[in-house]
Amino acid sequence: METLPRETIVDVLENKLREEILTGSHPAGSYLPPERELAEGYGVTRTTLKHAFGRLVQSGLLETRHGVGTRVRDFARLGGADLLPMLVRHSPDWLGEIFEVRRSIGALIAERAALKATAGQRAELRSLLAAVGEAEGGADAQLADIEVHRALARATGNRVYTLLTNTLFNAYVPVRAHLVGPFRDPDIAHGRLAPVVEAVEAGDAKAAREAADAYLSATERIMLDGLGIA
């Protein structure tokens, strides 16, 4: 059996403050009330509050200035893609926008991989594709599929594509178990992805882009349908 995580009072307070920030109870640019007032209001110690603040500063939602106070950061204007996992946990509606980026970036990556992949990278893609079909279940096929896309990004020779791919997959983590729909049958998952890898192997950039767009569009529909998101 999997051990369930135990929430501490800092975890609970961090989650509450995060929710209040993301729902606009504490608007971007506003200063939070003084620490003593907040601690009393939440029924926690100032030490607990400081720990929660520290986590939210690290995640990019707060900024603290000594002698001035703690202000809500304008994450929509100043934040980066590293905020996506947190935003997905807050609202799965973000997935629709993430998938839009996934589709456009993924098609471009496949096109570039077809032009740039080395013989060794093509061989790696064949091996990783085979692992999708050999997976023992949907969860394993899903993870194997992710590795194919990481390898496609590496095959472009552009490290930024690799980082973007990692960021998009990290955004799925909070709800990954709910996105397993396209991978429940590993044989079908393999057949759906194979045209992308085959086009990259053939060095056909146009076919790779079209195959990736078709693959990403099809899997997107299945995953969003599973989440009940139109």
Look up the CATH number of the domain holding residue 19.
1.10.10.10
Q: Mean pLDDT, to the nearest integer, of 135-140? A: 95
| 191-220 pLDDT, tens digit each | 999 999 999 999 999 999 999 999 999 999
Same domain for 26 and 132: no
Residue 2 lies in a domain: no
Q: Which of 78, 97, 117 is the last residue of a domain?
A: 78
Q: Which residues contact 180 (CB under 8 A, 6 or more apart)?
A: 138, 139, 142, 226
**In which domain, by residue range, is 173 found?**
82-227
> What string of DSSP letters covers 96-153?
HHHHHHHHHHHHHHHHHHHHH--HHHHHHHHHHHHHHHH-SSHHHHHHHHHHHHHHHH
pLDDT at residue 5, rounded to an integer: 52
Same domain for 115 and 36: no
Q: Which of 44, 63, 78 is the last residue of a domain?
A: 78
Which residue has tokens 């520290």?
Answer: 54
Look up the CATH number of the domain holding residue 185.
1.20.120.530
Q: Is 91 helix (H, G, I), strand (E, B) or coil?
A: coil
Same domain for 149 and 195: yes
Same domain for 71 and 94: no
Residue 44 lies in a domain: yes
pLDDT at residue 6, rounded to an integer: 66
Same domain for 50 and 30: yes
Domain count, the chain: 2
| 34-58 pLDDT, tens digit each | 999 999 999 999 999 999 999 999 8
- Output the average pLDDT for the chain: 91
32 or 2: which leads in pLDDT: 32
Residue 39 lies in a domain: yes
The number of residues in the chain equals 230
Q: Is 70 helix (H, G, I), strand (E, B) or coil?
A: strand
Residue 194 lies in a domain: yes
| 72-126 pLDDT, tens digit each | 999 888 888 788 888 888 887 888 888 899 999 999 999 999 999 999 999 999 9
Helix (H) or strand (E) holding 188: helix 186-202
pLDDT at residue 2, rounded to an integer: 42
Same domain for 105 and 133: yes
Selection from 185, 210, 208 nearest residue 132 by Cα: 185
Rounded CA separation 92/86 (Å): 10
Same domain for 192 and 218: yes
Same domain for 145 and 209: yes
| 145-197 pLDDT, tens digit each | 999 999 999 999 999 999 999 988 888 877 888 899 999 999 999 999 999 99
Rounded CA separation 114/180 (Å): 27
Rounded CA separation 168/190 (Å): 21
Residue 1 lies in a domain: no
Stated pTM of the model: 0.78
Same domain for 22 and 109: no
